[in-house]
Amino acid sequence: MKLIAPSILAADFANLNKSIKMVEEAGCDMLHIDVMDGRFVPNITIGPVVIESLRKVTGIPFDIHLMIVEPEKYIETFIEAGADMITVQAEACVHLDRIIQQIKSTGAKVGVALNPSTPEHMLEYVLDQLDMVLVMSVNPGFGGQEFINGSLRKITNLKAMIEQKSLNVKIQVDGGINQNNINKISQAGADIFVAGSAIFNSTKPTEAVKHLRAAAMS
């Protein structure tokens, strides 16, 4: 199963409700919400207050991507705001195993994201505890960047690690995904595709979702 996760970072923030209804109607599987703190990444986006408001207008699962330092301080806050899945950046966690346990204890799904320069083998001893690995295919911080091709090898290697250990861990890929490259990313072993500009900057976003899904599955 190949899943599409629109990133609302590229949506019109004055009309978030409308954007969410659109991706719901387009049959998207979850909403990818990028939280940035101006410290882990050089950009600041939205936080729990906005997520809490969005939770009231939609039932779509919230996939929260935390690009923040010291994420352990905010896990419960994001859960209360409505997170269904929380992904932390491996590079931001001094005690990665501990924070994975912290997220799991809330009942939410847990993911760990790897920056483009971070090798997949740093997850070797925690992989069996995860629901998802997020392969960053751009340097985090901004939407609309170009896909880094080296990510394909990381996806292939991760897929092999997961299969070798017979685990049920999904591979999500985030950054620079579009209709032209989604198929090769899918072939490499990705299960969940985050797309911001490819959906929200399109003149026909509903069609864009349909085309992305079809290309991922072909």
Task: Quote the tokens at residue 133.
Answer: 């690995």
Active-site residue, 174 included: yes
Q: Is 137 annotated as a binding residue?
A: no
Task: Specify whether the backbone of 32 is left (phi greater than 0), alpha (psi in -120 to 50) or beta.
Answer: beta
Q: Which is nearer to ligand DX5, 119 or 144 (CB)?
A: 144
- Using CA atoms, how far residue 180 sits from 77, 137, 214, in Å, is 38, 15, 12
Name the active-site residue from 34, 63, 131, 191: 34
* Closest approach of ligand DX5 to the CB of residue 155, in Å: 16
Question: Which of the choices ligand DX5, Zn ion, none does residue 175 contact, using the CB cut-off of 5 to 8 A by kind?
Answer: ligand DX5
Which window, 53-61, 143-151, 155-163, 180-188, contacts ligand DX5 (CB under 6 A)?
Answer: 143-151
Decide if residue 114 touches ligand DX5 (CB under 6 A): no
Q: Which is nearer to ligand DX5, 176 or 189 (CB)?
A: 176
- Looking at residue 193, its amino acid is F
Q: Which is nearer to Zn ion, 195 or 215 (CB)?
A: 195
Decide if residue 90 touches ligand DX5 (CB under 6 A): no
Which residues, in sequence order, are bridge partners of residue 65?
Answer: 34, 87
Decide if residue 63 touches Zn ion (CB under 5 A): no
CA dist., res. 89 & res. 140, Å (int): 10
Residue 175, H or E segment = none
Active-site residue, 34 included: yes
Instruction: Encode 137-157: b = buried (16+ Cβ within 10 Å), e = exposed.
Output: bbebbbbeeebbeebbebbbb
Task: Quote the tokens at residue 55.
Answer: 């939770």
CA dist., res. 23 & res. 149, Å (int): 27
Site for ligand DX5 in 150-209 (CB under 6 A): 174-177, 194-198
Q: What residues line the site for ligand DX5 (CB under 6 A)?
A: 7, 9-10, 32, 34, 65, 138, 140-141, 143-145, 174-177, 194-198
Q: What residues line the site for Zn ion (CB under 5 A)?
A: 34, 65, 174
